């Protein structure tokens, strides 16, 4: 402690010592009956990759809105079974990732030569900067070892590419997703059911302020996102008049002035996304639909399928 604070003028008294150790464990079920578990209680791993708190908060968010829906009688209790189905694979993935990130330090340790008598920064730099064939090989290995650490420090895909599969998500003629880059390293934004709605900047028509698509959904409700010509969907939602369903029309309350949403959303203007309170897409209708009766039929069917109360 004196070394850390830079002086030994301060009296230090150690009152307690607590051992912390690395875990590699995840639960295969997060709920049984009326008991629901989340957070470190169901996924334990080292801090490498920094995946702990956000995964715990996602567990809580996933469960909280579903509990609220059931308690308010907006959904049947069966909706709650999707909590475990959606979150177990995420827990499993981050436990494996965090432990792999910890083990990947081995490559750096080997290059640095800590177990070959290298003890100071000077010795380390001398070893790495030497004009020798051996040092040249070390420099190549160093770059390789640093590239591997991208999977710890720059792995946006691990954090954001979750694809939920459960009874609370309905796929609509979706083909298998094609990954265009490493799914652990790179975020692949998509409006596929089970994925988080892609972030795009829009403009709030009332106050002219920038607003993210992430913030036009949520607030404890489902959101039906459609475009100006998506009137059939708007009428269907109006007719159902459900206390838990908001409608956002891109081009009306919010404007796609940068045109980014149109390029990203993967749905026609008169198509629609049904987005859950946690920002994940529950269902989408990619093709334009102009028939009021069919839109009502489809929306009702899908809501019932996912255990939401209609009457």
Ligand X SMILES: Cc1cc2nc3c(=O)[nH]c(=O)nc-3n(C[C@H](O)[C@H](O)[C@H](O)COP(=O)(O)OP(=O)(O)OC[C@H]3O[C@@H](n4cnc5c(N)ncnc54)[C@H](O)[C@@H]3O)c2cc1C
User: ∠307-309-311 over CA atoms, to 5°?
Assistant: 150
Looking at 45-53, 96-104, 202-210, 293-301, which segment touches ligand X (CB under 6 A)? 45-53
Which helix or strand (DSSP H or E) is residue 185 part of? Answer: none
- The correct pick among 31, 52, 230, 303 for binding ligand X (CB under 6 A) is 52
Q: Is 56 in the site for ligand X (CB under 6 A)?
A: yes
Which helix or strand (DSSP H or E) is residue 122 part of? Answer: helix 121-129
- The correct pick among 27, 39, 286, 302 for binding ligand X (CB under 6 A) is 39
Q: Is 154 in the site for ligand X (CB under 6 A)?
A: no
CB 300 → ligand X: shortest distance, Å?
Answer: 38
Q: Which of 8, 15, 39, 36 is nearest to 26 (CA)?
A: 39
Task: Looking at residues 60 to 79 of the shown chain, list those that interact with ligand X (rule: CB under 6 A).
Answer: none
CA-to-CA distance for 191 and 197, rounded, in angstroms?
A: 5
Q: Is 269 in the site for ligand X (CB under 6 A)?
A: no
Q: Phi/psi at 191 (nearest 5 deg)?
A: -100, 20
CB 58 → ligand X: shortest distance, Å?
Answer: 11
Buried b (16+ CB within 10 A) or exposed e, 43-70: bbbbebbebbeebbebbebbbebbeebb
Q: Which of 284, 269, 274 is nearest to 247 (CA)?
A: 274
Q: Is 53 in the site for ligand X (CB under 6 A)?
A: yes
- The correct pick among 47, 154, 291, 305 for binding ligand X (CB under 6 A) is 47
Task: Looking at residues 17 to 36 of the shown chain, list those that interact with ligand X (rule: CB under 6 A).
Answer: 20
CB 55 → ligand X: shortest distance, Å?
Answer: 7
**Tokens 């209609």 -> residue:** 310
Looking at 22-30, 47-55, 97-105, 147-155, which segment touches ligand X (CB under 6 A)? 47-55
Please say whether the beta carbons of 256 and 269 come within 8 A.
no
- The correct pick among 40, 110, 159, 266 for binding ligand X (CB under 6 A) is 40
Q: For binding to ligand X (CB under 6 A), which residues are involved?
A: 20, 39-40, 47, 50-54, 56
């Amino acid at each position: 402690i004196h070394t850390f604070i830079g002086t030994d003028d301060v009296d230090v008294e150690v009152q307690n010592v607590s051992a912390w150790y690395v875990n590699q464990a995840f639960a295969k079920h997060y709920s049984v009956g009326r008991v629901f578990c989340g957070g470190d209680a169901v996924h334990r791993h080292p801090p490498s990759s920094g995946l702990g708190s956000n995964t715990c908060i996602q567990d809580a968010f996933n469960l909280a809105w579903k509990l609220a829906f059931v308690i308010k009688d907006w959904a049947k209790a069966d909706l709650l079974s999707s909590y475990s189905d959606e979150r177990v694979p995420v827990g499993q993935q981050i436990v494996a990732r965090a432990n792999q990130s910890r083990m990947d330090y081995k490559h750096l340790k080997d290059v640095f030569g800590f177990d070959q008598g290298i003890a100071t920064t000077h010795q380390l730099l001398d070893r790495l900067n030497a004009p020798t064939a051996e040092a040249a090989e070390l420099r190549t290995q160093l770059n390789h070892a640093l590239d591997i650490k991208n999977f710890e420090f720059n792995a946006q895909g691990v954090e954001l590419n979750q694809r939920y599969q459960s009874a609370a998500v309905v796929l609509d003629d979706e083909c298998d997703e094609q990954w265009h880059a490493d799914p652990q390293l790179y975020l692949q934004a998509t409006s596929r059911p089970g994925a988080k709605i892609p972030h795009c900047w829009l403009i709030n028509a009332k106050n002219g302020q920038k607003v993210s698509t992430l913030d036009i959904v949520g607030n404890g409700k489902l959101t039906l996102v459609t475009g100006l010509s998506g009137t059939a969907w708007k009428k269907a939602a109006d007719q159902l008049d459900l206390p838990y369903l908001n409608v956002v029309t891109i081009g009306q309350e919010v404007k796609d002035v940068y045109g980014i949403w149109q390029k990203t959303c993967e749905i026609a203007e008169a198509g629609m996304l049904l987005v859950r309170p946690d920002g994940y897409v529950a269902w989408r209708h990619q093709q334009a639909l102009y028939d009021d009766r069919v839109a009502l039929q489809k929306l009702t069917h899908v809501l019932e399928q996912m255990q939401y109360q209609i009457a």
